[in-house]
A and B are shown apart, each in its own frame.
Chain A
Amino acid sequence: MPEHPSGIQGGAGDVVLMVGTTKGAFLLRTDPSRQGWVMDGPHFPGEEVFALSLDQRGGRTTLWAAPGNPFFGGSLRRSDDLGATWSAGEDLPIRFPEESGLSLKRIWQIQPGRTSEPDRIFLGVEPSCLFESHDDGNSWSPVEGFMNHPHRPRWEPGAGGLCLHTIVPHVSDPARMLVAFSTGGVYGTEDGGVTWSPRNRGVRAEFLPDKHPEFGQCVHKVVNHPDEPDRLYLQNHWGLYRSDDWAGSWRDIANGVPSDFGFGMAVHPGDPDTVYIVPLEADTFRCTPEAKLRVYRTRNGGDSWEPLTRGLPQKDAYETVLRDGLCTDTADPAGVYFGTRSGKLYASRDAGDSWSLVREGLPPVVCVEAAVLA
């Protein structure tokens, strides 16, 4: 077994990368120049870590991780010293009520709530459900309106399981939130989670006889920008979309990409018009098209996309970036990061114009999160 990791020591302005893999989590830190990275890990060696998050609301620095095991289920851990020590909350483990008939398999997403609600945190889990905490993660409960949704018997698992992988709280309206899960699609609430309705108008379900059902789409990721909260971008299981009315309707924006299949999606921290994706060839061949590792960027809200290749291999690169494997930081110029199933970690410190290989030889990367320390 590896030596016990000691965590990362960082100061204000340092950038932290949190990398979840199928064999543990790794933490990387760099100074504001972002030119060299120090790595610490693996944390939770041997366990899969599909979700990581750094919560800096309300003056705290809490690192959340969701280590798990396909046989023994998922768990949640927190660290208030950047990974030097980890602990469980007071009311763990996370679990469904017995009468629900549901059993937790994996935690897919850890989403801190709005800045105005610093003790509120959300979890997206498999089987698809939303959990929430109102006390900084000390106790958790499923959102009953979603858990007991009448559509649940008709939701079908995708290749990754029936997973709720995306949580988008509205930045200013606490009653509004969107979630996305595979398969089921996008659902939204306007009443703080009491009721939920599908928000998939215009999104294809290529794998179903009815290509435009009310729900059942296999949405892979949804992102937005706090300055334009009602504008959303969606990477679908076939399809790239944009909504300008908080998921009331979607329109195709796959303008000039080699494939509209893919998983990861990230928005530029300072520009709601700039979005990043990593197209994959097809659902039957989930590798980068033409064996070229290319991030695609739009700077006009999806009207056109440009390939970003400088520093990325353009030959024999059969790579896969998963739904949480692509992210941005909040520095200026923006940092963009992604990890691959082949264990490579790439970074750009110029908003995607050029890239460098940060690490290789990691276990398969399933999530990458970045944060600038306050």
Chain B
Amino acid sequence: MLYTCIVNEEFILKWKSQVKKGTLAFIILSVLEGHEYYGYELIEAVKKFTAIEIAEGTLYPLMNRLKKEGLVSSKWVEQESGIPRKYYVLSNAGKKSLHEMTVYWNDLGVAINKISKSK
């Protein structure tokens, strides 16, 4: 009995980390919608809504990928401190992609709710 408890716990932990990994891009694009954030600010904004327990540094390779895919664009903005900030915004392709992702996400939610209720 105890044994199955431990196994399930581990399974759920892994599942959660997969879900987080799979939805991180979606979360970031959603947070960026209608805003212009620099890296650190973006992480803070994401953390406000969700408790992501990832190494914050992994956000930068992800932003790099989103940029390569043409979903976001970025620009360096000089600061008084002499240490510039890199600002990110959604591109038009990013806005469209986010819209499609949102539709898919909502459909999935509806489907899961239906399954749960039918039991």
A and B: bona fide binding partners: no
Interface residues of B (CB under 8 A from A): none
